[in-house]
């Protein structure tokens, strides 16, 4: 667990971070978001011990990052936006060098590195020079160095920046795998990436925490209700009556999309504390009406982020 309490950082007269507090729970994937200049990178550098705070505290599994830096950092694996790679080393030479820095016992290195190489899928390039690798492989090597020492917590800063769509999908799968055994904090400007892998998000703006919650709860809070789009093939009147009777439904709008084949769609508004998806499914099943499409129309993370950080 990481506890950030009233964190403040001054650069001269400028407050880059102004009283940030939040908790990162064990075994969760937390998205850490903010516009440029919001204090995101400064906060991450303080959490990892690269910078000291002006005031406030960061505790990593009970160890204060300033008072007990070595004990706190034992629990952290960090991937900066620009991975700290040595281009004239082979992958294996570099990871052994990281083992030296992290004081991994020599008797444990072979087994640990073999496991890491397999996990991040870089076994086939272990003996190649890092400078000759593709961007995607370099990013994997960066994640591998963060895993050396088997830390409880992984902090990944822009892990997919500059990668092509296939490489992004590969790194996303890797993060999901890592999340099974680690607490993960991800900072990224690619909001679809955060939406795909994170349990909760922290959004900071102008050096302060602007929002903390799950994406679905932030979305419902922003819209004031939960919206669903249901497309179906069948009797529109019967479907309308069936949906109207479901507890939690506030309003709905029905539209016939194709009269000849009896296709229609309905947009359903429900109260934010009622998840009516299961009720709709069983109602449609009872009416023997096939569902063609069923999806949320709640605001996306991008819309949430723009609303919160623009003040609208």
CB 285 within 8 A of CB 294: no
Choose among 269, 271, 274: nearest CA to 297: 269
Q: Report the C-alpha gap between 80 and 143 in whole angstroms.
A: 9
For the chain, percent of residues with pLDDT exceeding 70 = 99
> Cα–Cα distances in Å, from 223 out to 84, 160, 253?
42, 30, 17
137 and 268 part of one domain: no
Structurally, the chain folds into a number of domains equal to 2
Residue 311 has a pLDDT of: 62
Mean pLDDT computed over every residue of the chain? 90
The residue behind tokens 């309905």 is: 266
172 and 143 part of one domain: yes
Asked if the model's pLDDT at residue 59 lies above 90, the reply is yes
Residue 257 has a pLDDT of: 77
pLDDT band at 64 (very low <50, low <70, confident <90, very high): very high
Q: Which helix (H) or strand (E) holds 106?
A: helix 106-119
142 and 230 part of one domain: no
267 and 155 part of one domain: no
CATH classification of the domain holding 249: 3.30.70.3190
Has residue 252 been placed in a domain? yes
Domain boundary among 219, 243, 273: 219
Has residue 309 been placed in a domain? no
> Cα–Cα distances in Å, from 152 out to 147, 184, 222?
9, 9, 34
88 and 227 part of one domain: no
Q: How many helices (H) and strands (E) does the chain have?
A: 11, 14
The residue behind tokens 């539209």 is: 255
DSSP state of 247: T
Where in the sequence is the domain holding 17, given as residue range(s)? 2-219
Domain boundary among 170, 191, 219: 219
Asked if the model's pLDDT at residue 223 lies above 80, the reply is no
Asked if the model's pLDDT at residue 260 lies above 80, the reply is no
Count of C-beta atoms within a 10 Å radius of residue 172: 18
Residue 81 has a pLDDT of: 84
Q: Report the C-alpha gap between 88 and 223 in whole angstroms.
A: 52
Residue 136 has a pLDDT of: 87
Asked if the model's pLDDT at residue 41 lies above 80, the reply is yes
Rg, the chain, Cα only:
24
Residue 109 has a pLDDT of: 94
Has residue 179 been placed in a domain? yes
pLDDT band at 229 (very low <50, low <70, confident <90, very high): very high
Least confident range of 83-92, 164-173, 216-225: 216-225
Residue 1 has a pLDDT of: 86
DSSP secondary structure string, 57-99? EEEETTEETTTSHHHHHTTEEEE-SS----TTSBHHHHHHHHH
Q: Please write the tens of the pLDDT for every residue from 94-131.
A: 999 999 999 999 999 999 999 999 989 999 999 999 99
Domain boundary among 161, 194, 219: 219
Residue 245, by phi and psi: left (phi above 0), alpha (psi -120 to 50) or beta? alpha
Asked if the model's pLDDT at residue 312 lies above 60, the reply is no
Asked if the model's pLDDT at residue 153 lies above 90, the reply is yes
Q: What is the mean pLDDT of residues 253-275?
A: 82
Residue 272 has a pLDDT of: 67
């Amino acid at each position: 667990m990481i506890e950030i309490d009233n964190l403040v950082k001054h650069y001269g007269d400028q407050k880059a971070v102004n009283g940030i507090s939040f908790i990162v729970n064990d075994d969760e994937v937390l998205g850490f978001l903010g516009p440029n200049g919001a204090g995101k990178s400064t906060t991450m550098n303080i959490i990892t011990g690269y910078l000291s705070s002006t005031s406030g505290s960061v505790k990593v599994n009970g160890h204060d990052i300033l008072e007990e830096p070595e004990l706190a950092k034992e629990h952290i694996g960090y991937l900066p936006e620009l991975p700290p790679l040595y281009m004239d080393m082979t992958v294996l030479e570099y990871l052994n060098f990281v083992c030296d820095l992290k004081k991994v016992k020599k008797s444990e290195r072979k087994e640990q590195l073999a496991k890491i190489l397999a996990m991040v899928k870089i076994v086939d390039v272990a003996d190649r020079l890092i400078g000759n690798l593709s961007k995607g492989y370099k990013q994997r090597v960066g994640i591998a160095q963060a895993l050396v020492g088997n830390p409880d917590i992984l902090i990944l800063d822009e892990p997919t920046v500059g990668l092509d769509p296939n490489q992004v999908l590969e790194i996303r799968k890797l993060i999901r795998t890592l999340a099974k055994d680690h607490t993960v904090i991800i900072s990224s400007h690619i909001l679809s990436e955060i939406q795909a892998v994170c349990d909760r998000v922290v959004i900071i703006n102008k050096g302060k925490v602007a929002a903390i919650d799950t994406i679905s709860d932030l979305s419902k809070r922003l819209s004031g209700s939960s919206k669903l789009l249901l497309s179906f093939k069948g009797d529109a009147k019967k479907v309308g009556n069936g949906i109207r009777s479901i507890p939690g439904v506030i309003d709905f709008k029905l539209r016939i999309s194709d009269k000849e084949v009896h296709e229609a769609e309905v947009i359903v508004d429900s109260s934010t504390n009622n998840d009516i998806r299961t009720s709709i499914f069983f109602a449609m099943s009872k009416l023997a009406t096939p569902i063609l499409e069923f999806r949320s129309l709640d605001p996306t993370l991008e819309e949430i982020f723009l609303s919160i950080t623009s003040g609208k």
